[in-house]
Structure 1
């Protein structure tokens, strides 16, 4: 087998996907059957400099090069071959944020990441101007805030892009973005699959009195959809990525994408009426829509799939942190009584208790708000647990309540889509640590959304694998085969998938819990204001 893989590597029949996440730069090399054959990673952290969350250009390049070199070393170790050519490459990164360059390709101000909540004034003004929700982290909100702040650098802007777009540009010379990534920069016109020209005109009129030398369309990248040619690796680009000088130029690149789009690809949820839930420290649900929403909701962000279909995103800042802390407390107790239990057993035992609880969690209430929660309008968080004297205070109900509340804020956003907008959803794919204990969080989420929830074997592969699949789609694209068909037929056809349908009792129980959750928000407010 390794001999076949060695030949595949030597013949350039592989695809490389690299994703720059907020804590890790992950590189994944996949073979002809789309399965990972080697990987490398580099851990990094953002810095807080002059009240801005940022990553320096030095950190970006040294991190990218290190992650790639670790992949090269893995290839050498496993297959005893030098990585010199690759069938296709794709880059993905955390979406949004602000990278602005002058005509000499110099970064004008340090990279402002999606984490910065410094654009509230711009976000509100643009949402009103466009009648379209423009969250604070979007690139256009960062640009407009810089204009409102009268920052000197704005007049010098020649090009504005995202992290993935910047790396792609430096390696290929092409100023392009995949449409999913572009949808977090500026609203997309679903007909043209490009930036919305009417809104660009509105923006230009809004800033006309400032007399900038540029118009918005002049400084934004070109938008491409999945499968379109996005340029090739230049000789300079090859040296930038591979400091050892082994990698050859001329390798095709797919359009650079954002982490939301690569997550959709990695979970095979790019088709209309499908969705995916990523649940970790934070949680977000993404649903591919059949039509526009009827109005603007501040709780719902609109982005697109890598093929330009509209996606509604319900994002909550908090998910598993408080739940994990409680499990940790039970771990300390077991250790204290001399029954040291490993983490997997601990999580599995406690999670399975939740299935034995009362449907609504027995009247218990909890908020896992370790940080603020925009979905329920809290600028800070206070994790808390409350119960009435009539509640059923059992371990099963306690665990059920904490699993319910991990999805609580996200459910408020999903209820807007499913109940107010009557969005149709055939299936949701769950991925993230909370689904590791088989069948527990999955069945409760099915109850929360009243929709079948599936979990796949490969759900843990993540965004680097997702962008590698987009590179493979570019390379192998058959005439007219859609991305949805490509993923279904070529990638996920033999995947083992476990699906759980909603239990009517769970659906009703979750609704009862949510009524309590909404009523109890005043308790959380009192905690934030007084503790």
Structure 2
């Protein structure tokens, strides 16, 4: 087997996927059977600079290069060969946000990530203008808000893109996006698989009086669907990705995609009536629709699959960050007591203890709002734990309430789809750190959505594996082979997930907790206003 993999590496039959998540950049190299053969990762964190959540370009490249080097080192260590060529490469990243450059290729303002809830005026105006939900984190909302704010750099914009689009551009010279990624920049016409031309015209009319030297179509990247190829790694790009200089130029790159699209790929959730939920720093659920929704909902975003099919997306900015902070506190306590317990043990013990808690968390209440939360209409957040004097305050309920609240904003959005719109979901596939402790996050997600939740063994590979599969599809698909068929027949045919159906007591308990959660939003609002 090792010889087969070694030959695949030497003959350029491997495929590389790199995804830039909010806390980790991961590189995954896959073999001809689509299984990972080497990986590397780099931990990073956003910075809060001048009231903006951002990552510097320096940190972006440091992380990409480090994750690549770790992966290449593992190739050499395991298979005894250096990585000189690859069959194809794909890049993915956090969607949305604001990355703009002038004609000289200079960044005009620091990268504004999806986490910034600073575009409320733009979001509302554009939603009303287009009659199409434009969330605050979308790139077009950031652009229009900067125009409304009369920021000096606006007239100098030559190119606006996303994080993944930026990296792809620097490595290939091509200004493109995959359609799924592009659908978080500006609304997509489902027939043309391109930006909605009518809305582009409406936007240009909206800003016409400002006499800017560009039109929207001049500054946005070109849109491609999965399987299309217009880019190859340049000599300059090869040196930028692999600082050792061993990687050769000329490698094809698939269209860059967002983390939502790669999550769909990694869970084989690109066909209608399928869905997936990614739960980590943020949490979002994607449901591939059979038809358009009956009206515009502020809580529901509409994006597309990497092939351009309509997807309803319920996205919550906050999921496990505050929960992780509490677990970190227990880690500190363990160390102070002289116990030698690693974080996996601590997570496992606490999460499993939560299964023993009261169905409704014993009357406890928490909000893990490290940042704003658009589903519940908060521009800023304040992590909060609240209890009454007669609530059942024990460790099981304490951990359970933080697991529940991590999913509660998401549940508000999903209830619109499943209860109000009657969207049919046979099951939803979970991936992300929230599901790492077997059976716990999965059972609570099933309770929150009242839908069976499956977690595949491959789901832990996440978006880096997903974008690698997209790159593999681009170079290995047969003529007229759809992405759905490629995934079902060539990637997931022999992969079985662990399925967990919701338990009635947990579903009912979650509903009781949600009444408390919604009523208690007034407490969160007061905390935001008071703790400035």
Q: Provide TM-score, normalisation by structure 1.
A: 0.92
Other-structure match for 1:488: 488
Distance 2:58 2:395 in 1: 50
The answer to whether the 8 Å contact 2:116/2:372 transfers is no
Deviation at 1:47, TM superposition (A): 4.3
1:97-496 aligned at under 5 Å gives the runs 97-327=97-327, 343-378=343-378, 379-387=380-388, 389=390, 391-393=391-393, 395-496=395-496
Distance 1:410 1:343, change over 3 A: same
The answer to whether the 8 Å contact 2:13/2:86 transfers is yes
Counterpart-to-counterpart distance in 2, 1:140 and 1:325 = 33
| Structure 1 residue 143: Cα displacement | 1.8
**CA 1:344/1:23 → structure 2, altered by over 3 Å: closer, same or farther?**
closer
Cα distance in 1 between the residues matched to 2:52 and 2:407: 30
Deviation, 1:484, is: 1.8
Q: Distance in 1 between matches of 2:165 and 2:383?
A: 37
Cα distance change of structure 1 residues 409 and 110 upon mapping to structure 2, 3 Å threshold = closer
Partners of 1:37 and 1:333 lie apart in 2 by 38
CA distance in 1 between counterparts of 2:518 and 2:397 reads 19
Q: Is the partner of 2:81 in helix, strand or coil? A: coil
Cα deviation per residue 1:287-312 (whole Å; 9 max; x = unaligned)?
Answer: 22222222222222222111112222
Distance 1:74 1:200, change over 3 A: same
After superposition, what is the alpha-carbon deviation per residue over 1:101-141, rounded to whole angstroms, capped at 9, x for unaligned? 33343333343333333333222221221122222222112
**SS of aligned partner of 1:407:** helix
Q: Assess, with a 3 A threshold, how the Cα gap between structure 1 residues 237 and 362 changes in structure 2: closer, same or farther.
A: closer
Distance 1:323 1:58 in 2: 29
Mapped to 2, the partners of 1:359 and 1:300 lie a distance apart of 28
Question: Aligned to 2:231, what secondary structure does the other structure show?
Answer: coil
User: Matches of 1:399 and 1:45 in 2, distance apart?
Assistant: 25
Measure the CA separation in 1 of the matches of 2:255 and 2:4: 29
Residues 78 and 445 from structure 1, CA distance in 2 versus in 1: closer, same or farther, beyond 3 angstroms?
same
**CA shift at 1:439, angstroms?**
1.9
How many equivalent residue pairs? 530
Instruction: Tell me by how many angstroms 1:393 deviates.
Output: 4.9
The aligned counterpart of 1:507 is 507
The more displaced of 406-415 and 284-293 is 284-293
CA displacement at 1:42 relative to structure 2: 3.4
* Greater displacement, 25-34 / 466-475: 25-34
Aligned counterparts of 1:439 and 1:147: Cα–Cα separation in 2: 47
Q: 301-310 or 345-354: which moved more?
A: 345-354
- Cα distance in 2 between the residues matched to 1:371 and 1:108: 25
The separation in 1 between residues aligned to 2:43 and 2:328, in whole angstroms, is 25
Aligned counterpart, 1:2? 2
Q: RMSD between aligned alpha carbons?
A: 2.5
1:518-529 map, 5 Å: 518-529=518-529
Residues 322/89 of structure 1: CA separation in 2 closer, same or farther (3 Å cut):
closer
